Amino acid sequence: MSNIKVGIIGFGTVGAGAYEVLRENADLIRSRVGASVAVKRIADLDVDSDRGVPVDKGLLTTNAEEIIDDPEIDVVVELIGGLTQAKEYILCAMEKGKHVVTANKALLAEYGHELYDMAERCGVNLEFEASVGGGIPIIGAMKGGLSANRFRNIMGILNGTSNYILTKMSRYYWPYEKVVKEAVELGYAEDPPTLDVDGTDAAHKLAILISLAYGSAVSFKDIYKEGITSLTPDDIRFAQEFGYCVKLLALARDRGEEVEARVHPVMIPQDHILANVNWAYNAIYLEGDFVGPNLYYGLGAGRRPTGSAVVSDIIELSRRIANKEKGLQPPLAHYGRERKSISIKPMKSLTMPYYFRFSAVDRPGVLSKISGVLGQHNISITSVIQKGREVNGPVPVVMLTHEACEENVMKAISVIDNMDVVTDKTILIRVDKGISDK
Amino acid sequence: MSNIKVGIIGFGTVGAGAYEVLRENADLIRSRVGASVAVKRIADLDVDSDRGVPVDKGLLTTNAEEIIDDPEIDVVVELIGGLTQAKEYILCAMEKGKHVVTANKALLAEYGHELYDMAERCGVNLEFEASVGGGIPIIGAMKGGLSANRFRNIMGILNGTSNYILTKMSRYYWPYEKVVKEAVELGYAEDPPTLDVDGTDAAHKLAILISLAYGSAVSFKDIYKEGITSLTPDDIRFAQEFGYCVKLLALARDRGEEVEARVHPVMIPQDHILANVNWAYNAIYLEGDFVGPNLYYGLGAGRRPTGSAVVSDIIELSRRIANKEKGLQPPLAHYGRERKSISIKPMKSLTMPYYFRFSAVDRPGVLSKISGVLGQHNISITSVIQKGREVNGPVPVVMLTHEACEENVMKAISVIDNMDVVTDKTILIRVDKGISDK
């Protein structure tokens, strides 16, 4: 029986998780592959720390080239993350004819086209199940079981840290800062959790999903992103009064020649299936033209779930190598010659309903002034909540609108925020019904 | 560019759906495959009915052998269902070296081992994504993205008709017969919906999931099954009072040398993610040893979702054929030489909590007599609801138990049902926490 040899570059949380799966489930994996799969070498700058998994010290090296240059190694697993060395390692490994597995969402989102092209040019496979949704096999579903569909709508809760924070805020009405502090203490968030809470991490993952859906790398910088840092318990409570739940969503919609692509806090109806995805869980809700609505739910991060996803890619590649399969599945499961470029619809041209919270002095006529500005910008109001007079300070005026154009909304808010009766910046949350057709 | 030729046997709902996908999304499919995919022939005994999709009459034949014997046809798609001709057609097609796609859950559940062996012997692929969960790509997830895991727990809502009926009963408290009558009128249920409501259809699908999880065909007849026909709105309401929801679940649990495998109504906590899967939707909740809890949700039946799943298999096979890949993935994604047989744990040896509704005359001491019998059988009670006296007829006595042994429960119920104070058969619903570890 042949023996597939794997090299792992990066022995942090995910690397240790992948190694742990390969070690604990070696017999299952042999049955799946029809050959045994062995880790020949693990490279990391730190070869001394205890990773919580027993590992033969002889496997460890600080030199990644010992993996990339080793002719015996069939599969290179890149798990260092980031945009610098990781890219070089992957490109070199592919040039040397090695199949590559990576979990590097930032790299795929920002330089995916280079990697996909190189994989096809070198005739190797590039697999990245762990890059989106942790253990959730969403990449495989889009490349496989859903491959007959045009994707009309993709909505994802793709960042567990921000979903944890929003869940806590939605249940206990703690302010953002207090929740983050606790999440850091409990190990649910990094300190500071910048890329998690500012939407960057979710946008990276969205870029990958869009590329898979439409068969072409997307321009990452064109994805609009906005984080959760300015959300308050008050806004979450008002949203609930209107029958909504606030989630940080990554959204993509097919709009014919263009695609909507954005990450920001969204008010979705409380009975939408994504509204019930809580704590550190991730979920991806998809609508295909034939399959209709689908949901995939699971743990989006963590050593064991992410290790599960990395090893599923190793199994698939190892099976092909053991079977001497020469055929190649393109990284995005579309053949390049059919590829079209994807352009992202400018944010300002989108239309949707909005939630506004205005901070205004408590004086007669203020509501009329604000709604006057909205009316001039073609924004019509469906509901208003105006809370009773407070002894000190301004009163919040909360509104939901009909569908309005983002560009008009931004202009109106800018006018309103400069009014002398308005005491603070207006808070805005976009509203979504959660279905593909408006 | 090569041209992959497909033959479809069976032009009912699913056959027409698959043809519709191939037709409408031909350009997308060409991009996925790297070659065009054409339906060369469709066989059905009825070639005259309108299937709601435009089809060239010249493609149609009443003779399936025109497909099986056609050397130009690469992929045979069996969509007639049932246990008779379908099996012969599939075996013959494989013997002639053709790859096969099927949606035939009954055949796979009851004769899967013969088909899997034949596929491996003939060196062809046998794919069946549409056999479980309609459009939900659960087969691909288990063979692919989750392949590194041992499956500890599988819980599925696998029959849309029974889930629709239970959802309606749970919301409107209509009796079973009234809901079924309406479901038949609305086209959500067949008339009569026997295999849907008696658990057979869900058990077929469960057999397939277990085979995939553990790499070996399972003995279908050993799967315990019980339908929803004796559930009443009263029981559903009592379950709700206890904080539960009633669902027809297909359950499998890894118990070391044996596997639990059963289909029956289950009370699951209202906050379990499966409790929120309603109407005709299906969902599969899985726990893997590394990935943790995962959920897959979508439409479990219908022309377009099932067509989507059938065509995803056609795409995968066509891509391999176009790429001249010789390698073979075994039907259950485990290599035969590693396969162990799966034995199902006898139902009577299982332990779990139970719900009972006793119908007893309203007389002092009755509750004590019933609980005495339970105590003698080692069944201890956690909660009791006894409703007030009614003018006519018996009063229900409703109980929840601690974990008890199924064999003891059956003996106790048999004793109780023969007591002279008991006026009707005791209703029993099994209770489940919905997690792998008890």
Q: pLDDT, tens digit, for every residue of A10-53? A: 999 999 999 999 999 999 999 999 999 999 999 999 999 999 99
Please tell me if residue B425 touches chain A, with a CB cutoff of 8 Å. no
Q: pLDDT, tens digit, for every residue of B357-403? A: 999 998 888 999 999 999 999 999 999 988 766 555 678 899 999 99
Are the Cβ atoms of B298 and A295 closer than 8 angstroms?
yes
Q: pLDDT, tens digit, for every residue of A337-380? A: 555 678 999 999 999 999 999 999 988 889 999 999 999 999 99
pLDDT at A246: 98
Is residue B275 over pLDDT 90? yes
The structural domains of chain A, with segments of one domain joined by +, span: 3-132+303-338, 139-299, 349-431
Q: Which CATH code fits A139-299? A: 3.30.360.10
Orientation of helix B13-24 relative to helix B26-33, angle to 10°: 80
Q: Nearest CA to A339 among A217, A209, A206, A210?
A: A217
Q: What are phi and psi of B185, to 5 degrees?
A: -60, -35
pLDDT at A340: 67
- The minimal CB distance from A145 to the residues B31, B312, B335 is found for B312
CA distance B18 to B404: 47
Of residues A437 and A307, more confidence is placed in A307
Residue of B nearest to A298 (CA): B294
Mind giving me the DSSP string for B23-79? HHTHHHHHHHHTSEEEEEEEE-S--SS--SS---GGGEES-THHHHT-TT--EEEE-
CA distance A221 to A201: 13
Are the Cβ atoms of A311 and B215 closer than 8 angstroms?
no
Pair of tokens at residue A38: 């062995």
Are the Cβ atoms of A307 and B320 closer than 8 angstroms?
no
Per the listing, tokens 């053991």 go with A322
Coil, helix or strand at residue B357: strand
Residue of B nearest to A129 (CA): B145
Q: pLDDT, tens digit, for every residue of A244-281? A: 999 999 999 999 989 999 999 999 999 999 999 999 99
Q: pLDDT, tens digit, for every residue of A52-80? A: 999 999 999 999 999 999 999 999 999 99
Q: Do A389 and A361 meet the contact criterion of CB atoms below 8 Å apart? A: no
User: Which CATH topology does A3-132+303-338 take?
Assistant: Rossmann fold (3.40.50)
Q: Do A78 and A130 meet the contact criterion of CB atoms below 8 Å apart? A: no
Q: How many CA atoms lie within 13 A of A190 on its CB side?
A: 12
Q: pLDDT, tens digit, for every residue of A314-340? A: 999 999 999 888 777 899 999 865 556
Please tell me if residue A148 touches chain B, with a CB cutoff of 8 Å. yes
- The minimal CB distance from A34 to the residues B289, B292, B335 is found for B335
Residue of B nearest to A137 (CA): B145
Burial of A63 (0-12, 13-18, 19+ CB in 10 A): exposed
CA distance A229 to B134: 40
Are the Cβ atoms of A304 and B291 closer than 8 angstroms?
yes
Is residue B285 over pLDDT 60? yes
> Among residues A205, A225, A247, A345, which one is catalytic?
A205
Give the mean model confidence (pLDDT) for residues B100-106: 98
CA distance B406 to B431: 12
CA A166 to chain centre: 16
- In chain B, which residues have their Cβ closer than 8 Å to the Cβ of A289? 24-25
What is the interface pTM, i.e. ipTM, of the complex?
Answer: 0.96
pLDDT at A392: 59
CA distance B248 to B262: 10
Q: pLDDT, tens digit, for every residue of B252-271? A: 999 998 999 999 999 999 99
Q: Nearest CA to A162 among A230, A261, A240, A209?
A: A230
Q: Taking the CB of residue A83, how many other CB atoms lie within 10 A of it?
A: 12
Q: Do A397 and A389 meet the contact criterion of CB atoms below 8 Å apart? A: no
Maximum C-alpha span of chain B: 84
User: Which CATH topology does B3-135+303-338 take?
Assistant: Rossmann fold (3.40.50)
Please tell me if residue A227 touches chain B, with a CB cutoff of 8 Å. no
- Nearest Cα of chain A lies from the Cα of B273 at a distance, in angstroms, of 8
- B320-339 burial, b at 16+ Cβ within 10 Å, e below that, comes to bbbbebebbbbbbbbbbebb
Q: Nearest CA to A394 among A366, A352, A415?
A: A366
- In chain A, which residues have their Cβ closer than 8 Å to the Cβ of B324? 326-327
- The minimal CB distance from B311 to the residues A31, A34, A148 is found for A148
Q: pLDDT, tens digit, for every residue of A127-185? A: 999 999 999 999 999 999 999 999 999 999 999 999 999 999 999 999 999 999 999 99
State the amino acid at position A356 in one-letter form: F
Q: Nearest CA to B296 among A88, A22, A295?
A: A295
- Nearest Cα of chain A lies from the Cα of B182 at a distance, in angstroms, of 24
Cis amide prior to A192 (ω within 30 degrees): yes
Q: pLDDT, tens digit, for every residue of B217-252? A: 899 999 999 999 999 999 999 999 999 999 999 999
Kindly report whether the global pTM for this prediction surpasses the value 0.95: yes
Q: Do B369 and B399 meet the contact criterion of CB atoms below 8 Å apart? A: no
Q: pLDDT, tens digit, for every residue of B332-355? A: 999 865 556 789 999 999 999 999
Q: Nearest CA to B141 among B272, B285, B20, B23?
A: B285
Please tell me if residue B276 touches chain A, with a CB cutoff of 8 Å. yes
Where do runs of H (alpha helix) occur along A257-402? Answer: 303-322, 366-376
Share of chain B above pLDDT 70, in %: 97
pLDDT at A328: 79
- The neighbouring-strand residues paired with A126 are A100
CA distance B89 to A400: 60
Please tell me if residue B336 touches chain A, with a CB cutoff of 8 Å. no
Pair of tokens at residue A199: 């939407």
Cβ neighbors of B294 (< 8 A, separation 6 or more) are: A135, A136, A296, A297, A298, B141, B146, B285, B286, B287, B288
CA distance B129 to B140: 7
SS3 content of chain A, % helix, strand, coil (to 5): 40, 25, 35
Give the mean model confidence (pLDDT) for residues B158-168: 97
CA distance B145 to A311: 9
Active site residues of B: 205
- Nearest Cα of chain A lies from the Cα of B32 at a distance, in angstroms, of 5
Residue B437: in which H helix or E strand, if any? Answer: none
- In chain A, which residues have their Cβ closer than 8 Å to the Cβ of B295? 295-298
Cβ neighbors of A177 (< 8 A, separation 6 or more) are: none
Is residue B438 over pLDDT 90? no
Mind giving me the DSSP string for B260-317? EEEEEEEEEETTSGGGG--TTEEEEEEEETTTEEEEEEEE-SSHHHHHHHHHHHHHHH
CA distance B181 to B346: 35
Mean pLDDT of chain B: 94
Q: Do B307 and B18 meet the contact criterion of CB atoms below 8 Å apart? A: yes
Where do runs of H (alpha helix) occur along A291-405? Answer: 303-322, 366-376
Cis amide prior to B192 (ω within 30 degrees): yes
Q: Do B144 and A140 meet the contact criterion of CB atoms below 8 Å apart? A: yes
Q: How many CA atoms lie within 13 A of B313 on its CB side?
A: 34
Q: What are phi and psi of B44, to 5 degrees?
A: -160, 150
pLDDT band at A438 (very low <50, low <70, confident <90, very high): very low
pLDDT band at B71 (very low <50, low <70, confident <90, very high): very high
User: Which CATH topology does B349-431 take?
Assistant: Alpha-Beta Plaits (3.30.70)
CA B77 to chain centre: 21
- In chain B, which residues have their Cβ closer than 8 Å to the Cβ of A138? 145
Q: In this predicted structure, which of A88-102, B61-75, B324-338, B396-410 has the lowest mean pLDDT?
A: B324-338
